[in-house]
Amino acid sequence: MKKIKSIEDYHKEYKKSIEQPETFWSEIAENFIWKKKWDSVLKWDFNNYNVNWFLNGKLNITENCLDRHLSSKGNQPAIIWEPNDPKEKALTLTYKELHEKVCSFANVLKNNGCKKGDRICIYMPMVPELAIAVLACARIGAIHSVVFGGFSFNSLADRIHDADCNLVITSDGAYRGAKDIPLKSVVDEALKTCPTVKKVIVLRRTNSKVEMQNGRDVWWNDEIKKVNADCPAETMDAEDMLFILYTSGSTGKPKGVVHTCGGYMVYTGYTFKNVFQYNDGEIYWCTADVGWITGHSYLVYGPLLNGATTLMFEGIPTWPDAGRFWEVIDKHKVNIFYTAPTAIRSLEAMGLDFVKPHKLNSLRVLGTVGEPINAEAWNWYNENIGKNNCPIVDTWWQTETGGIMISPIAGITKTKPGFATLPLPGVQPVLLDESGKELQGNNVDGRLCMKFPWPGIIRTTYKNHERCKEVYFSTFKGYYFTGDGCRRDEDGYYRITGRVDDVIKVSGHLLGTAEIENAINEHADIVESAVVGFPHDIKGWGIYAYVICDRKRDDVEELKKEIIGTVNKFMGPIAKPDKIQIVTGLPKTRSGKIMRRILRKVAEGDVNNLGDTSTLLDPAVVEEIVKGAVK
């Protein structure tokens, strides 16, 4: 696949992608291996949402990730795995070894009753077997649904239910920093309410004690002994589902975002190569967990499609100390490093003493993803990690877009701190005002929408196409609505200003406020709650919860601890409220809708500016809330 070579080349490619999108994308798709070529490139309708790319094309994404590299790169590292504990040995899997392991595990799945079209839930730590499990599903045409290990049993059960999974792949436990997290027992708890699950495959990682349920639970290591490494890749239609990945929305129930085989492959393969300007032989490290879309697209699929070496890290940035990332970069001579602004800010706060001992001279390109990066963190990253010598790609995209949409091309697009800069070829962003009118020209602020499909676009929300239409294609007729606010500046550069709906990005994790409220309401004494975000120096956004308690509790501090414990238990530690305020009522309109605008202002500490409160059912509650606000 050819790479964009210069800014002129970018503009030329961009123009072509707009004027002749079908020619543009079919030329890119030709760089992949298809079992049968597509009949037509694109069929689409944003009004009654339906999109198909590479119609009737047949392929298997794992042949493109693995088999095709065997002759040229069989002995080159595909995955370098760095464990949580620096004292444990790192592991390298060559393309040949990875291929073998994926085929073997695909046979394990078959032996355990899995077939094309089945949904398989993967709930695992960041170990090579996680990537192997994902690829093994794709090998046999089973649909993977990876659930992030930081979610707890209730969230896990919701996701298993919604996808009707019949098999779960997990491990005894997970190491994260100094902690040892019991994954299998979370699965056991979740499965009490998931009768569709017939088998659980358990990998040994921490050697912690687990309960194995007879007839249901089997050990990965036992099963792998029963198979050989011969597993032909299932033939998939371009529009067959590749995976489901749940993402939070405005309601309590997460949405199962569906991506399909052909378009997702072409889009992640193309964007990986171009955005990072990947050169053969380079070591690439994306710090995202495979439980999130960034891990799917830019730790597993994008790099492997390009025959790259992808580094997978099991641990956390701050253990054993805040120099861990920088140590790993030197140890494995990482060339391209892709992480989240929240990680950068937290490491910046720890001070330069953790950076200084490390050379970092292998680095060529830096990237960020997941949330807006403030200029200060951008500059710190640029100076102290990139040594003013590595282009930074601030990549804007979403679970629903499958891959990067707005981003600099490394070393080619002139960057500006805080700006995702320009749309990639094939991406047609528009900014709309509240009435849905397209804002023309530069120096405008609006809602970010897309007016034309790209191959990685969401196809549906699992088993609920109406919801997909409603959430993404009904706010502005004829457009895909991202849910983000955005500015286009005087240079035509895009700067994402943040969400305009009821989801918040907390330490780079997208969380629905309604889902957090549901978890809080599991506490026996809580009758109602309302969660909003407030700006947080490190996390980007923090979680502020207003709760109504149905009996008088004098031990407020104890109550708050219990609430945090409840959220931890039902949803997981990523959703823990930072601030909790006990209130006797919530500001509601006469129709019973909570006025979150007011709650956000109070959480931000901006109480002199609450706007019109005259439509409230009971304006007195606002006074009480302002008085009791948690600083």
- Residues of this chain that interact with ligand 7RM (CB under 6 A) are 247, 292-294, 369-372, 394-399, 420, 482-484, 496, 499, 505, 510
How many whole angstroms separate alpha carbon 425 and alpha carbon 25? 10
Q: Is the dihedral of CA 181, 184, 190, 196 positive or negative?
A: positive
For ligand 7RM, give the closer residue by CB, 505 or 560.
505
Tell me the residue type at 48.
N
Q: How far is the CB of 561 from ligand 7RM (least distance, A)?
A: 29
Q: How far is the CB of 359 from ligand 7RM (least distance, A)?
A: 28
Q: Would you say 255 and 408 are in contact if contact means Cβ atoms under 8 Å apart?
A: no
How many whole angstroms separate alpha carbon 345 and alpha carbon 365? 18
Q: Would you say 314 and 125 are in contact if contact means Cβ atoms under 8 Å apart?
A: yes
For tokens 């997460």, name the residue: 254
Distance set, CA 80 to CA 91, 273, 275, 570 (Å): 6, 19, 21, 34
For ligand 7RM, give the closer residue by CB, 206 or 398.
398
How many whole angstroms separate alpha carbon 236 and alpha carbon 184? 32
Q: Would you say 52 and 239 are in contact if contact means Cβ atoms under 8 Å apart?
A: yes
For tokens 């070894």, name the residue: 97
For ligand 7RM, give the closer residue by CB, 144 or 296.
296
Q: How far is the CB of 304 from ligand 7RM (least distance, A)?
A: 18
For ligand 7RM, give the closer residue by CB, 344 or 625.
344
Q: How far is the CB of 506 from ligand 7RM (least distance, A)?
A: 11
For ligand 7RM, give the closer residue by CB, 184 or 509.
509
Q: Please, what is the Cα angle at 58 between 299 and 146, to 5 degrees?
A: 35
Q: How far is the CB of 93 from ligand 7RM (least distance, A)?
A: 26
For ligand 7RM, give the closer residue by CB, 163 or 233.
163
Q: Would you say 404 and 424 are in contact if contact means Cβ atoms under 8 Å apart?
A: yes
**Nearest one of 241, 246, 244, 245 to 260, comparing CA atoms:** 241
For ligand 7RM, give the closer residue by CB, 470 or 623.
470
Q: How far is the CB of 108 from ligand 7RM (least distance, A)?
A: 31
For ligand 7RM, give the closer residue by CB, 487 or 596.
487
Q: How far is the CB of 240 from ligand 7RM (least distance, A)?
A: 23
How many whole angstroms separate alpha carbon 356 and alpha carbon 385? 10
How many whole angstroms separate alpha carbon 162 and alpha carbon 253? 9
How many whole angstroms separate alpha carbon 416 and alpha carbon 386? 15
Q: How far is the CB of 416 from ligand 7RM (least distance, A)?
A: 13
